[in-house]
């Protein structure tokens, strides 16, 4: 191994783009993981490339099928579709071992018979001698095979010990790592199973991954992984290590910040398109572009536009972004998503009558809603049925005087043409007759039709629920 290994040739930029998302199935899909997947998806889809999914389940202790299922659900909800089958890293362990042995044969890796106790002792000794950092140096690195004992061994990389390595990263720039900080990492455990460092490289290579876009917690690992590419004479992929997402307080995002799982956002009722928009603007920008569809993002998404600083989650902006997407989505699609939300949130499903009405009245609520719970709240008047029970505030606007006014209104609506143009003069007429402001008339109508004080326009409500229901609710309230 040369003291200073030059960067191996990067994957040809003209080759079709292949990206991947490779989560380990130890829990739900983290919001940061969701964004990583999104970047990979945008990058590949925007270039006619492929976006692959691989589950890094080599840690048998911590990997669970439930976690894999949760990750797939999260990605599916976010609308991030992947190409081909989901690859299980564990299933490829024989291939990983094969590569480890090939490196053994090439002399770029070696068998190490040191026990874990011996390694611990090595570190303890180095520490006792005042060394602040102890890279384990195996005595077996250049040992004569004739001396090999008949005991378990691991396979380690023969890492360069002097000079420096560098990785050329699309986000981080050129990062230089001194080789004496790189240890002879283990690639095959004593039980014959591969470590992550080996498996990830072998899989990325075999799957034809051209661009590795992942969290910058892997930045240092990239230098180690590059050793494997070099040892096998494989083309190194283009690296792009993106910063992690932090909580509102700037600390690493954790449970105490609230929602960290993608599915939690689904349950809270954020639309997936809004999530994608918001998440893509977290750490990435394209000029002043703020509100955009994923199709639009694909056209301009570029690794160069990713910042190096970690971004904080801001729920206000998330809501605002989602509000734009609610308004942008067509009525039928929105209803469909709402149905999925109700199921995910384990709330009662809509009856077909409610769905029909909602579709008819979607136009007057979607512009003002930011989330699905918000939408439901604003669509309250469409979802309830008589008797309408007014809430406390609404009840106040149904006093004797107001009920009297409603009584005079009802007969006039009996034969009115049911359009806003026809209804408006009727209400205005009553306003003129009573000498009250329009607001004084609108309030009891709102209370009667929706049982609430905050509702869409009274005309929209009347139009949406129709003449018969309007009259019934008005009569009921004025009785």
Binding to RNA in span 156-195, by CB under 7 A? 172-173, 175-178, 181, 183, 185-186, 189-191, 195
- 110: which strand partners? 156
64 in contact with RNA (CB under 7 A): no
311 in contact with RNA (CB under 7 A): yes
> Rounded to 5 degrees, what are φ and ψ at 272?
-60, -40
Which residue is catalytic, options 93, 125, 255, 299? 255
Residues 390-429: x/- map of binding to RNA (CB under 7 A)?
A: ----------------------------------------
339 in contact with RNA (CB under 7 A): no
Residues touching RNA: how many (CB under 7 A)? Answer: 82
* Other beta carbons within 10 Å of 345: 13
Residues 454 and 461: their CA atoms lie apart, in Å, by 12
In terms of Cα–Cα distance, which of 27, 63, 11 is closest to 207? 11
Footprint (CB under 7 A) of RNA, residues 430-449: 437-439, 442-443, 446
Contact 21, 40 (CB under 8 A): yes
Give the nearest distance from C-beta 44 to RNA in angstroms: 21
Q: Is 164 helix (H, G, I), strand (E, B) or coil?
A: strand
For 425, the token pair is 């003069």
Residues 364-383: x/- map of binding to RNA (CB under 7 A)?
A: ---xx---------x-----
Give the nearest distance from C-beta 436 to RNA in angstroms: 11
- Cβ proximity to RNA: between 402 and 455 the closer is 455
53 in contact with RNA (CB under 7 A): no
Crossing angle of helices 458-478 and 438-450, in 10° steps, is: 70
Distances (CA, A) of 178 to 166, 183, 216, 235, 432: 8, 11, 18, 22, 85
- Cβ proximity to RNA: between 24 and 329 the closer is 24
Judged by CB under 7 A, the residue of 5, 294, 455, 470 near RNA is: 455
Contact 148, 111 (CB under 8 A): yes
Give the nearest distance from C-beta 380 to RNA in angstroms: 11
255 is catalytic: yes
348 in contact with RNA (CB under 7 A): no
In terms of Cα–Cα distance, which of 188, 215, 213 is closest to 199? 188
309 in contact with RNA (CB under 7 A): yes
454 in contact with RNA (CB under 7 A): yes
For 120, the token pair is 């611990």
- Cβ proximity to RNA: between 436 and 472 the closer is 436
- Cβ proximity to RNA: between 4 and 115 the closer is 115
| β-strand pairing of 87-88 with 154-157 | unpaired
Contact 444, 453 (CB under 8 A): no
- 336: which strand partners? none
Stretch in the footprint of RNA (CB under 7 A) among 55-63, 72-80, 353-361, 468-476: 55-63
Give the nearest distance from C-beta 340 to RNA in angstroms: 23
Footprint (CB under 7 A) of RNA, residues 224-283: 243-244, 246, 248, 250-252, 281-283
DSSP type of residue 284: B
DSSP type of residue 194: B
- Cβ proximity to RNA: between 49 and 187 the closer is 187
| β-strand pairing of 18-21 with 164-169 | unpaired
122 in contact with RNA (CB under 7 A): no
For 340, the token pair is 């999925």
- 155: which strand partners? 111, 188
For 302, the token pair is 């570029």
Judged by CB under 7 A, the residue of 83, 305, 360, 434 near RNA is: 305
Judged by CB under 7 A, the residue of 7, 59, 403, 426 near RNA is: 59
Residue corresponding to tokens 């590569």: 99
Give the containing element (helix H, strand E) for 449: helix 438-450
Judged by CB under 7 A, the residue of 79, 152, 387, 466 near RNA is: 152
Footprint (CB under 7 A) of RNA, residues 78-117: 89, 114-116
Distances (CA, A) of 103 to 6, 187, 368: 19, 10, 61
- Cβ proximity to RNA: between 76 and 428 the closer is 428
Stretch in the footprint of RNA (CB under 7 A) among 45-53, 56-64, 348-356, 469-477: 56-64
Residues that are catalytic:
255
């Amino acid at each position: 191994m040369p003291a200073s290994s030059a960067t191996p040739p990067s994957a040809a930029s003209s080759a079709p783009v292949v990206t991947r998302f490779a989560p380990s199935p130890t829990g739900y899909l983290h919001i940061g993981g969701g964004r990583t997947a999104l970047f990979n998806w945008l990058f590949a889809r925007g270039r006619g490339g492929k976006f692959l999914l691989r589950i890094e389940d080599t840690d048998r202790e911590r990997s669970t099928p439930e976690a894999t299922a949760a990750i797939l659900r999260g990605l599916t909800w976010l609308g991030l579709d992947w190409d081909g089958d989901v690859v299980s890293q564990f299933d490829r362990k024989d291939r990983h071992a094969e590569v480890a042995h090939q490196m053994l044969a090439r002399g770029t890796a070696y068998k190490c018979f040191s026990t874990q106790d011996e390694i611990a002792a090595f570190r303890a000794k180095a520490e006792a001698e005042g060394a602040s950092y102890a890279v384990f140096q195996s005595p077996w690195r250049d040992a004569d095979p004739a001396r090999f004992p008949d005991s378990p061994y691991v396979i380690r990389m023969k890492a360069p010990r002097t000079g420096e390595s560098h990785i050329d990263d699309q986000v981080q720039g050129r990062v230089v790592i001194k080789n004496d900080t790189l240890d002879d990492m283990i690639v095959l455990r004593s039980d014959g199973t591969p470590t992550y460092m080996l498996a990830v490289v072998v899989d990325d290579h075999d799957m034809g991954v051209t661009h590795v876009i992942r969290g910058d917690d892997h930045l240092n690992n990239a230098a180690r992984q590059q050793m494997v590419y070099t040892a096998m004479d494989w083309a190194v992929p283009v690296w792009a290590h993106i910063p992690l997402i932090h909580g509102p307080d700037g600390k690493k995002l954790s449970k105490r910040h609230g929602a960290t799982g993608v599915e939690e956002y689904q349950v809270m009722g954020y639309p997936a398109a809004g999530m994608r928009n918001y998440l893509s603007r977290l750490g990435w920008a394209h000029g002043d572009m703020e509100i955009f569809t994923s199709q639009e993002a694909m056209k301009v998404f570029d690794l160069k536009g990713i910042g190096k600083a970690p971004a904080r989650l801001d729920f206000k902006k998330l809501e605002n972004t989602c509000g734009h997407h609610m308004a942008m989505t067509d009525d039928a699609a929105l209803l469909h998503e709402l149905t999925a939300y109700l199921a995910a949130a384990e709330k009662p499903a809509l009856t077909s009558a409610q769905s029909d009405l909602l579709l008819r009245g979607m136009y007057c609520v979607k512009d003002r809603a930011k989330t699905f719970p918000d939408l439901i709240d604003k669509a309250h008047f469409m979802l309830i049925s008589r008797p309408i029970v007014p809430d406390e505030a609404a009840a106040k606007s149904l006093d004797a005087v107001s009920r009297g006014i409603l009584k005079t209104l009802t007969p006039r609506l009996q034969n009115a043409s049911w359009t806003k143009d026809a209804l408006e003069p009727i209400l205005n007429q009553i306003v003129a007759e009573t000498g009250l402001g329009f607001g004084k008339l609108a309030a009891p109508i709102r209370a009667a039709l929706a049982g609430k004080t905050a509702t869409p326009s009274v005309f929209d409500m009347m139009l949406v629920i129709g003449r018969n229901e309007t009259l019934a609710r008005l009569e009921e309230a004025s009785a």
